[in-house]
Amino acid sequence: MKSFLRILGFVTPFRFTLIVAIFFAVLFSLSNGLTIYTIVPIFDTLTEEQPFRFEISESLITEEGTGIAGQVRAGIEGIKIRINRHLAGMSRREILITVSLLIIPLILLRGLFDFISRVLFFHAGNSAVLGIRRELFAHLIRLPYHYFHRSRSGEILSRINRDVIPLSTAVSNEIYHFFSGFMILITNITILIFINWKLILFILILAPLMALPIGFFGNLVKRFTRKIQEGFADISSHLNETITGIKVIKSFAMEHFENDAFGAINNRIFSRELRRRVYQNLNPGVVEFLGALAGIALFLVGGYQIIRGELSSGEFIFFMLLVLNLFEPLKQIASAINGTQAGEAAANRIYQILDYPVEPLEKGREGTYEEGIAFRDVSFSFGHGFSLANINIPIPKGKQIALVGPSGSGKSTIVNFIPGFYLPEEGEILIDRLNTKTLSLSWLRERSAMVTQEIYLFNGTVLENITCGKPYTMDKVIEAARIAHAHEFISRLPEGYHTPIGERGMLLSGGERQRITIARALFSNPEILLFDEATSSLDYESEKLIQDSLEYLFKTRTSVIISHRLSTIQSADIIYLIDSGRIVDSGSHQELIARCEIYRRLFEQ
């Protein structure tokens, strides 16, 4: 229940709505009791020797009630006496018609109160759900980079989509079920105690017995809900992998394989869903059965009281109706408990994200950038074999550094330290001799722009993809695009810079996409440029074209370039050769060619 109670914290901003909703639930339960009560005058008038009259307790009127409770009771007795006087002047038929007609406005009011409280509960609940979803996204986007490596993207998607749904039903429906059920229960039991406390004693003894199966099935439902959620995460993951990898799947003729895998996941969810439904539906059935047993016991005891003249038949029927009327709220409360248990599972999973610490973007101070960056004895590991050891790289301001090395040697990992995507386990990264750990991440990230081998374009226009939400002038955008040699093809697009490029830039060629990401980096005009195989999807010709502009850019700011192409790195001030997470050599192209075997081999192919 802990996580679910925490989730309920999202309702607190809407507590006023909730209080009004509860108020209407109280009105609903009172009008409900009153509606049922009309059976007493009708029935007694028809069956008893003397037409229906309220019983007046003499002691109360003479005592002239003390305190508020006393006054209220005296007031009620006064009303009863007045009604009795009216009744005395009416025939049985007139009483019958009057009371029957009275039921119409009562039912209408009852319906109206119920409607208002439902809508208000729903409003409060769903506003809370909106808040949860917003908070979850805001949190997610601030989680550190490494979080996204550890979690499957399908799982993250499923938490936001699938887990928020049971939560939203739990929060909006179950709050309603719980409170409205609770109110009816309280009102009915109070009335029942007034009519006949002996009879109600039975119910109070039987109630805890009913709670046992509710708890038992609730636990089962909870367990299967969790399993179903996990199944949906598998589906999302699988879909995500299939869609992003559709090319590979098709070219390796893996359709059958993928189909079977997907079918297996689906079947698993089906059987879990089925079992959850079974337990969920058994629960109200069991409650109802126990309720019926209680009803039979009441018939016996109540009937006996009628025979002894302690109870009028109208009162007994009213009593029975009220007791029957307890089942609905009991069922509601049971379903609320089931629902909150489902909600608890979802809430747990949501809190696994919400409790994961976010990057402290604003924490730390702003630094300066005058001298440059330095890696000092940096060591780091991913925890499964690969590690960087003793990386020492000075990157003076305005210099051009290149990293080369075989695939998987750790080049991208090194570059990822500069914008603070990873933090070194040992050693430090300095900017103007300040440890980057003490600097604010947002300051750090504003200094640098990264273009990587994985191209990320979002579903928007070319312009939006270049400016990334920053203020811009068209001149600046075009200038960046020109340097990246993107202006030409962008101008040829149907709507120029305002052309939507489709999800992940599907409508552009690989090289065009790459050039847009380069334009994006250039537009942000950072002091530090990080190029991680940024030109790898360009053909030789296009690369040649932008080479000059890039070279000019690299010369005018600090840059770290990773490339497999000799032409790109040749002019670097220093080239570092990385192998298996270590720097094996460094120097200019000429020096390395002359003395380093690995380096020669890298560029011989």
Ligand X SMILES: Nc1ncnc2c1ncn2[C@@H]1O[C@H](COP(=O)(O)OP(=O)(O)OP(=O)(O)O)[C@@H](O)[C@H]1O
Residues in the site for ligand X, rule: CB under 6 A?
A: 149, 382, 386, 405, 407-413
Classify 536 as helix, strand or coil: coil
For the bound state, the minimum distance from the C-beta of residue 470 to ligand X, rounded and expressed in Å, comes to 28
Q: Six-digit token pair at 506?
A: 């599907």
Phi, psi torsion values for 407, nearest 5 degrees: -60, 135
Q: How far apart are CA 507 and CA 61, in angstroms?
A: 87
- Kindly tell me the sign of the dihedral angle through the C-alpha atoms of 424, 430, 435, 439: negative
Q: Which is nearer to ligand X, 113 or 417 (CB)?
A: 417
* Residue 19 identity (one-letter amino acid): I
**444, β-bridge pairs:** none
Q: Which is nearer to ligand X, 213 or 406 (CB)?
A: 406
Q: How far apart are CA 437 and CA 420, in angstroms?
A: 8
Q: How far apart are CA 27 and CA 457, in angstroms?
A: 56
For the bound state, the minimum distance from the C-beta of residue 160 to ligand X, rounded and expressed in Å, comes to 22
For the bound state, the minimum distance from the C-beta of residue 157 to ligand X, rounded and expressed in Å, comes to 19
Using CB under 5 A as the criterion, which residues of the chain lie in contact with Mg ion when the complex forms?
A: 412
Q: Which is nearer to ligand X, 428 or 579 (CB)?
A: 579
Report the DSSP pairing between strands 558-562 and 400-404. parallel
Report the DSSP pairing between strands 372-381 and 574-579. unpaired
- From the list Mg ion, ligand X, none, pick the one residue 382 interacts with, judged by a Cβ distance below 5 to 8 Å according to partner type: ligand X
Q: Which is nearer to ligand X, 93 or 149 (CB)?
A: 149
- From the list ligand X, Mg ion, none, pick the one residue 487 interacts with, judged by a Cβ distance below 5 to 8 Å according to partner type: none
For the bound state, the minimum distance from the C-beta of residue 580 to ligand X, rounded and expressed in Å, comes to 9
- From the list ligand X, Mg ion, none, pick the one residue 413 interacts with, judged by a Cβ distance below 5 to 8 Å according to partner type: ligand X
For the bound state, the minimum distance from the C-beta of residue 453 to ligand X, rounded and expressed in Å, comes to 6
Residue closest to Mg ion when measured from CB atoms: 412
Contacts 24+ apart (CB under 8 A), 350-357: 350/3, 350/7, 350/132, 350/136, 350/159, 350/163, 350/164, 350/167, 351/3, 351/6, 352/159, 353/136, 353/139, 353/140, 353/143, 353/156, 353/159, 354/135, 354/136, 354/139, 356/139, 356/143, 356/147, 357/144
- From the list ligand X, Mg ion, none, pick the one residue 218 interacts with, judged by a Cβ distance below 5 to 8 Å according to partner type: none
Q: Which is nearer to ligand X, 117 or 452 (CB)?
A: 452
For the bound state, the minimum distance from the C-beta of residue 415 to ligand X, rounded and expressed in Å, comes to 8
- From the list Mg ion, ligand X, none, pick the one residue 407 interacts with, judged by a Cβ distance below 5 to 8 Å according to partner type: ligand X
Q: Are 442 and 361 in contact (CB under 8 A)?
A: yes
Q: How far apart are CA 425 and CA 464, in angstroms?
A: 37
Number of H helices, E strands in the chain: 24, 10
- From the list ligand X, Mg ion, none, pick the one residue 341 interacts with, judged by a Cβ distance below 5 to 8 Å according to partner type: none
- From the list Mg ion, ligand X, none, pick the one residue 364 interacts with, judged by a Cβ distance below 5 to 8 Å according to partner type: none
For the bound state, the minimum distance from the C-beta of residue 269 to ligand X, rounded and expressed in Å, comes to 29
For the bound state, the minimum distance from the C-beta of residue 583 to ligand X, rounded and expressed in Å, comes to 12
Q: Are 275 and 224 in contact (CB under 8 A)?
A: yes
- From the list ligand X, Mg ion, none, pick the one residue 202 interacts with, judged by a Cβ distance below 5 to 8 Å according to partner type: none
Q: Which is nearer to ligand X, 147 or 472 (CB)?
A: 147
Q: Which is nearer to ligand X, 163 or 532 (CB)?
A: 532
Q: Which is nearer to ligand X, 30 or 140 (CB)?
A: 140
Q: Six-digit token pair at 295?
A: 């009803």
